[in-house]
Structure 1
Amino acid sequence: MSSPQREAAGLKPVTLGTLRHPNITRMREAGIQADVVAVWHGHTER
């Protein structure tokens, strides 16, 4: 959706950052281990 349409609809911008939390949640719900999810989202392994 273009910016004027989004603004007219009263919606906030969607960025990769706003999709991060729902993606992490879905990955965990799918049974992917937390350490794997962390690495996929840019955290280094410990």
Structure 2
Amino acid sequence: MASVNLVGRSVLTVDDVVTTGATFAAAARALRAAGADHVVALAAAHPP
């Protein structure tokens, strides 16, 4: 996989369904650790 410099960048994460938010939280932690300034999560659906 190619390496990407995330320092100072904003990142949008997209998923089809969010249930607990754990995957988004883990992704946000990893992206922030890689230098991203802002991480935004967008999901198309949330189960009732």
Higher RCO (CA 8 Å, separation ≥ 6 residues): 2
Q: 1 or 2, which has the higher helix percentage?
A: 1
Specify if TM > 0.5: no
Structure with max Cα Rg = 1
Tell me which protein shows more strand as a share of its residues.
Answer: 2
